[in-house]
Each structure stands twice: as structure tokens, then as C-alpha cells.
Amino acid sequence: MLFRGLTNIFRRVTSVKNVKLLEEYAPSIRSNIAYRDFFKNYIDDFNRNVVEPNVSYGSFTLAVITDTHAKDINSSSFYGINGLVHTQELNVFDQNYKVDLKAHLGDAIDGSDNPENSKTLLRLMVKSLNNSKLPFAMIKGNHDDNDKFDEHTLSKKASFNEDTYQNIVGGYLYNQPQIKYESETSGLFYFDKGPVRTIFINTSDVPYKLHKFGVKKYDVKKVRAIRQAQIVELISILEKSAGRKIIIFGHSPILNEKGESGLTYNGISLHELFVAFNEKLKGHLDNQEGNKDFVLDAEFDFTNVNNAEISAYICGHKHVEKSFKFDNINHILLNCSALMGKNHGLTTNYNKKWDRKINDPSEFAGYIVDINYQSSLLTILGYGAATKIKQFEI
């Protein structure tokens, strides 16, 4: 136990030194992003041979990454500062006139660093996304509250405050005129183009409660949920969504392949709300059982929301690619951008098959998500460690 404690103290001290490493990347945030040559050449080829033939001008098109797990160390085989680089390089799609929005679906940071370094990483990442002509979306992931760091300290005391993530990300996110929202507190927002509405939900919607020694009641890394206030806002948005084709984005799956809840709290209730919307129902979402912090009690009326449908839920979190369908709603999981070398214990079998390496296209993974309301097709085009093309009817 003493050795573990000393190891954690050593990690905290050495982590502070790596602020210098982060500062090396700051100049590129304050000016134009400098893309690595091999990445730029690879994406130019991807745009020319994959995106251009499969994306129609006028559809709603997003450039998407998820699970960058940025850390304040250089790494050639696993999570590291390359997560920040992947986020910066998403801006390369500014040069593709067919892309409307950039999106990061959560776990921007690994949450295992000294809190000041984790905050610096978050600032650099959101500033890089904001430093371009395209609007951006950024969802909170289950690692973005720095709970992984807390877990490995002697005190277990919370290193982020309740509003740390919101203060860093929210000011940039909600200051964009293209982003619409009911409030800035729940983490729920949306973006429209033509008849397409994309809604971004917060699956790390967990109350910030501390025990008397400053230890969190809920470890956000382990508890994934959606709560009452966000549900009420979502219902309000859906009730004003007549004539819309709707795609929902989140960080964590809300269901698994067996149809069980993918969240710790309220995953099935959320899916049932989607089904009620598609079937134009009026009713009461009532989940009074279990933990009182996650009780749901909300009225909805979708009877007059005509010509509208939720056809897909897209997320990350699991570090795999997967898709399944329940109640005519596609559930689609995207692979992690974070480098996962095949010899690491945390690397998923899916990523071991890619044999991912630094300074190679397998280092990163990202997607162009194209929502074509005229053809009723959802096309997902992958680059790096991702499937090149998948299509879904919507």
C-alpha cells in the first residue's frame, strides 16, 4: 500500500513537468493548425476517393471523432498527446465544402493526469475545434471529469469542480450561433440543416455530490446516466421537431445488443421515449424506482409532431465499431480515435486487429457522417482505423 501511495505521488509530480509538453502545442492553437504531412496527404486521398463520390452537396454532413483520450505524455503505442493532435487535425475538413459540422463525441481527455494538465488539454482541444470556419459540437464523456486521476490518489478527493468541464467547453460551444439549446446546464444541444435535426445528448449526466472528505459520491467514469432536467429539455425539443429527420448523438450507448440498458440509469427509458416520439404518442415517462437522484417524471405529447422520426443513435465509448437495430432505430457505435497498440491490456480486440501504430493511418480513426434526407440514407465513411463505408436506411 505504501508503494502504491508513493507511486501515485511520483505520478503527480512528474505530470506537472509535462506542462511544457502541452505548451509546445499552444502556438498552433493561436494560429492556423499545422497538419502532419502524412495525415494531410492521406485525408486528401480520402476526400477525393471516398467522400466526394459518396456525399451529395446539400445533405447534412459531419466530420466526427470520439474517444481521443488525450494525455500529457508522448506515446508511440497507446494514449498520449496524439489525442490532442487528432482533435486539431479534424480541422482539415474545413477544406471540404461538403462538411457542415465537426463533432467530438466525448472522452476528449483520458482524465488520468494532474488536474491542471487535464484542464490545459481540454482548453487546447476546444480552442482548436473553435479555431476554424466550421461550427463544432463537443459532448462530455465519462472520462472528461478527471475521475481516473482521483481514483489513483491516496485521498480519492475530486480534482475537478462541479462546473470545470462546463466552464472550459461551454463558453466556446454555446457561443456559436448555429448551436441551439434550451439551457447551458444539462449538456443537451442541437443543430439543424434543412429538414435534418441532430441532437447531442449528455450520457454523463451525473449529480456532483461529495462526501465529507471531498470524495465524489458518483464516479462519472463508471456511472453513465441521463436525468430529469435533460429529459424535460429533450421532450421540449422533440415536441418542436415537426418535419424533421432526427439523428441523436451521444457518448455512451443507451442500449446494448441484447436490448438491455447501456447506461447505469435510464438507458431503456430514453429509448422508449424515442419510440414514443416515432409512434406519435402522448404519455408520461415515469421511472420512480431505484436511486432517487435519477428519478424520471415527465409528461410528453408527440401527437401533433407530424412527418418526423428519430432514425439513429450514434455514439462511441466502447472502442469498437458495431451496429444493431431495435424498434426501427439504428444504434451505431464508432471506433475510438485514441491510439490503441495491440500489446496493451486495455486495447479492444477490434483495435488489436488493426495493429495500430504511431505516424501511420492506423494511429487515428474518424468518420464522415452524411445524412441524405432526399435518398433517406445515412452513410458513414471511415478513415484510419475505421470501416471505409457503411450505409443505413433512415
Domain boundaries, the chain: 2-393
271 has which bridge partners?
none
242 has which bridge partners?
none
- Whether the CB-CB separation of 65 and 73 falls below 8 Å is answered with no
370 has which bridge partners?
61, 379
Is the pLDDT confidence value at 302 over 50? Answer: yes
Q: How are beta strands 377-384 and 189-193 bridged, if at all?
A: unpaired
| Per-residue pLDDT reduced to its tens digit, 326-376 | 999 999 999 999 999 999 999 999 999 999 999 999 999 999 999 999 999
Instruction: Report the percentage of the chain scoring pLDDT > 70.
Output: 92
Cα separation, 199 vs 310, whole angstroms: 10
Q: How are beta strands 377-384 and 329-333 bridged, if at all?
A: unpaired
Amino acid at 27: P
What pLDDT is stored for residue 111 in this prediction?
98
C-alpha cell at 186: 444539462
- Measured CA to CA in angstroms, residue 51 lies from 198, 217, 275, 367 at distances of 20, 45, 32, 10
| Per-residue pLDDT reduced to its tens digit, 229-281 | 999 999 999 999 999 999 999 999 999 999 999 999 999 999 999 999 999 99
Cα separation, 283 vs 305, whole angstroms: 14
Length reported for the chain: 394
Is the pLDDT confidence value at 24 over 60? Answer: no
| Per-residue pLDDT reduced to its tens digit, 67-122 | 999 999 999 999 999 999 999 999 999 988 899 999 999 999 999 999 999 999 99
- Whether the CB-CB separation of 331 and 363 falls below 8 Å is answered with no
Cα separation, 263 vs 224, whole angstroms: 5
What pLDDT is stored for residue 33 in this prediction?
66
Cα separation, 151 vs 219, whole angstroms: 9
Burial of 239 (0-12, 13-18, 19+ CB in 10 A): middle
Is the pLDDT confidence value at 299 over 60? Answer: yes
- Measured CA to CA in angstroms, residue 131 lies from 104, 166, 283, 355 at distances of 14, 19, 43, 32
DSSP 387: -
Q: How are beta strands 136-138 and 101-104 bridged, if at all?
A: parallel
What pLDDT is stored for residue 295 in this prediction?
97
Rounded to the nearest integer, the mean pLDDT of the chain is 92
Q: How confident is the model at residue 291 (pLDDT cuts 50, 70, 90)?
A: very high
- Whether the CB-CB separation of 170 and 139 falls below 8 Å is answered with no
pTM of the complete model: 0.93
What pLDDT is stored for residue 16 in this prediction?
40
Tell me the torsion sign for CA atoms 63, 65, 71, 76.
Answer: negative
- Tell me which CATH code domain 2-393 carries: 3.60.21.10
DSSP labels, 102-160: EEE-S--B-S-S-HHHHHHHHHHHHHHHHSSSS-EEEPPPTTTT-HHHHHTSSS-B-SS
Is the pLDDT confidence value at 18 over 70? Answer: no
- Measured CA to CA in angstroms, residue 14 lies from 7, 82, 121, 299, 325 at distances of 11, 19, 16, 52, 46
Cα separation, 90 vs 356, whole angstroms: 19
